[in-house]
């Protein structure tokens, strides 16, 4: 049985334009093209599209997806591998969500009654589910900045590192609050927060505008970064990116 491109788009939620793009780059050619020029897809192509969408959901880029699909031999084994990775990602995100949810509750209570956060008594509780190796790996696209960050961290005491992590967590939660209040990404309160983040960023090393915009895109495109933002509030990764892009447009150009 074969399905026309319009039907595949309807079933998968992928636009026909995207499907045509996948064909043009050799990622997902149709089973055949009719005399009318329309693309038709059979079961094998639908299974391959499923794999592409799963890998995209895991933050894998199209170039890497093409490599993975080109190297795999058995579709069933490939799907088992994707399934295991999805389960692991679900468990990791669940742990992150629990950690951030607890921090939100403690910050709300602390602001309401003026008492210290419970987690400050055991600051390691703030970082359950967030592994340092994940953070280092997430900077792989910005090796110069990763090196500068590692140098800065090496010069800090454990207490200073923990204080910095607590501050970054609090900023992320504050950004989520601004988003929940309905403020656009270019609103002044949001841009004030982004300005603080930018100053911390360039304190490590000068960051060209092009690299800053690449970092902004990574909030959505980088698997680890996006997962942390989305664990705080769905849509927060895109909101952070938009806020950084607005900052670059108005203050860095």
pLDDT, tens only, 131-180: 444 444 556 678 788 778 777 777 777 677 767 777 887 788 889 889 98
Which CATH number fits the domain that encloses residue 21?
1.10.1660.10
Tell me how many domains the chain contains: 2
Q: Of the candidates 57, 72, 87, which is a domain's last residue? A: 72
pLDDT tens sequence across 19-60: 999 999 999 999 999 998 999 999 889 988 988 888 887 767
**131 and 164 share a domain?**
yes
Return all residues near 191 (Cβ < 8 A) that are at least 6 apart.
Answer: 243, 246, 247, 250, 251
**155 and 49 share a domain?**
no
**82 and 145 share a domain?**
yes
| Per-residue pLDDT, 133 | 41
Which has more confidence, 123 or 39?
Answer: 39
What is the band of 217 on the pLDDT scale with cuts at 50, 70, 90?
Answer: very high
Q: Of the candidates 35, 57, 72, which is a domain's last residue? A: 72
**184 and 68 share a domain?**
no
**132 and 83 share a domain?**
yes
What is the band of 124 on the pLDDT scale with cuts at 50, 70, 90?
Answer: very low
The answer, as to whether pTM is greater than 0.85, is no
Return all residues near 9 (Cβ < 8 A) that are at least 6 apart.
Answer: 15, 16, 19
| Per-residue pLDDT, 242 | 96
**36 and 123 share a domain?**
no
**111 and 181 share a domain?**
yes
Alpha-carbon gap, residue 183 to 85, rounded angstroms? 36
| Per-residue pLDDT, 132 | 43
Q: CA 13, 18, 24, 27 torsion: positive or negative?
A: negative
pLDDT tens sequence across 170-215: 788 889 889 988 999 999 999 999 999 999 999 989 999 999 999 9
pLDDT tens sequence across 77-107: 777 777 777 777 677 667 767 767 777 777 7
Q: What is the torsion angle, in degrees rounded to the nearest 10, for the CA atoms of residue 158, residue 146, residue 133 and residue 241?
A: 100
**Which range has highest mean pLDDT (65-69, 112-116, 210-214, 221-225)?**
210-214
- Lowest mean pLDDT: which of 99-103, 225-229, 237-241? 99-103
Residues 118-141: what's their mean pLDDT?
Answer: 50
**28 and 126 share a domain?**
no
**118 and 86 share a domain?**
yes
**219 and 200 share a domain?**
yes
**145 and 197 share a domain?**
yes
40 touches 31 (CB < 8 A) = yes
**53 and 158 share a domain?**
no
Q: Of the candidates 16, 40, 72, which is a domain's last residue? A: 72
Phi/psi of residue 181, nearest 5 degrees? -75, -5
Which has more confidence, 165 or 122?
Answer: 165
Q: Is 173 helix (H, G, I), strand (E, B) or coil?
A: helix
Question: 176 is in which domain, residue-wise?
Answer: 78-251
């Amino acid at each position: 049985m074969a399905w026309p491109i319009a039907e595949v788009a309807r079933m998968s939620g992928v636009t026909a334009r995207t499907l045509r793009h996948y064909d043009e780059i050799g990622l997902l050619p149709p089973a055949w093209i009719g005399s009318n020029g329309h693309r038709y897809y059979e079961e094998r192509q639908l299974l391959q599209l499923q794999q592409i969408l799963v890998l995209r959901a895991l933050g894998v880029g199209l170039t890497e997806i093409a490599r993975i699909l080109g190297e795999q031999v058995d579709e069933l084994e490939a799907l088992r591998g994707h399934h295991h990775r999805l389960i692991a990602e679900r468990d990791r995100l669940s742990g992150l969500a629990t950690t951030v949810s607890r921090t939100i509750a403690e910050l709300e209570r602390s602001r309401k009654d003026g008492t210290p956060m419970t987690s400050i008594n055991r600051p390691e509780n703030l970082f359950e589910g967030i592994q340092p190796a994940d953070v280092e790996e997430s900077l792989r696209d910005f090796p110069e900045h990763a090196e500068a960050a590692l140098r800065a961290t090496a010069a800090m005491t454990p207490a200073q590192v923990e204080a910095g992590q607590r501050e970054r967590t609090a900023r992320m939660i504050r950004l989520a609050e601004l988003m929940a209040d309905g403020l656009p990404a270019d609103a002044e309160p949001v841009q004030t927060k982004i300005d603080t983040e930018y100053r911390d960023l360039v304190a490590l090393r000068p960051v060209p505008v092009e690299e800053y915009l690449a970092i902004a895109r990574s909030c959505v495109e980088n698997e680890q970064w996006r997962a942390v933002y989305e664990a705080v509030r769905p849509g927060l990764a895109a909101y952070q990116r938009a806020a950084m892009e607005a900052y670059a447009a108005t203050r860095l150009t």
